[in-house]
Structures are given as C-alpha cells and as structure tokens.
Amino acid sequence: MRKLLALVSVSVLASLAGAELVDAQVPPYPPSPPPIVIDQSSVLPGQQIRVTVNGCQPGEAVTFTLNPGGIVLGTVTADATGSATLVAAIPVGLAAGSYTVTATCGAVVRTIAVNVLSAAAAASPLVRTGSDSALPLARIAMAALAVGCLLVVLTARRRAAASAAV
C-alpha cells in the first residue's frame, strides 16, 4: 500500500510540475499584430500597395520609403494603438526587381520585401501550350459506359432466356 501511495504522490507531483511548465509557454492572447504587413508582395510600377506598421507611439509620424533608392512613398500619423497604414503607388518607370519598404517611426524601423514586376512581363498573356482535352475524354468515357451497360443488359437477358428454356 505504501508503494502505491508513493507512486501516486510522485505521479501527481510530476503532472503538476509539467502543468506549470506548459502554462509558462502559452503565448499571450490575443496575439500581438505582426510588426509590418503588406497587402501584396508582387506589384507592377504604378500599382498601389497598402502597408501597415505596428509598434509606433500613438500620434508619431511614420515615414515609408522604398529601398534601394530611398524613394519616400509617404508619411502618415500613427493612430491611438500605434498602428499606421499607408496606401501608395509604386513609382512608374521603376526597374523590375526586389525592393524593401521601410517604415520608420522614431527609433523603430520595420522592413518588408516587395517584388516589382516588369510591365512588359505582366502585359503579355500566358502562352497557350495545349488544348482542353477534358471534354473529348468525357464523351469517350460516357460512350464506353453506355456500351458496357448495354452489354450487361444483353448478357442478363440471354442468361434469363437460356435458363427459362431449360
């Protein structure tokens, strides 16, 4: 009985210790917003993007720049939660490639990648590389199914006629 009591005591203590470790690793709820978010990661020159940054001081000026090149996309004021959103157009004539949008508010600097596509690549439609073969195949399958059903019916009638004759 003593061994059983000791075993139960050790199991209870171990489970309590484990429960404390699990509670310590639970993330806070609600989760904090990501530091910077962009609505689309690939854009064309002249196309608008929406960039939102979090973690600034309320009422602080937030400047958004496109790098390399240091092109200022705009400046907005952070709201009461320290979040700022800018809707800006990617400059026309910008060369295709990888860029970063940088949001700066005081000592806080957040960056996110954006891929600028070439206007020529976006303007040309995709090349047609084949035909839509699903419709002819569906017709063939339906015809084969009909022939198979007909053969089953004829075989069943033939067997019924043969067994009736016996």
Mean pLDDT computed over 94-122: 87
Range of the domain at 101: 36-122
Q: Report yes or no on 44 lying in a domain.
A: yes
Number of domains observed in the structure of the chain = 1
Tokens encoding 138: 């569906």
Q: Report yes or no on 46 lying in a domain.
A: yes
* CATH code for the domain in which residue 106 is found: 2.60.40.1930
Model-level pTM?
0.56
Q: Report yes or no on 6 lying in a domain.
A: no
Q: Report yes or no on 69 lying in a domain.
A: yes
Residue 48 CB partners (closer than 8 Å, separation 6+)? 87, 88, 89, 90
Q: Report yes or no on 100 lying in a domain.
A: yes
Residue-wise pLDDT for 22-74, tens only, equals: 455 676 666 666 789 999 989 999 899 999 999 999 999 999 999 998 999 99
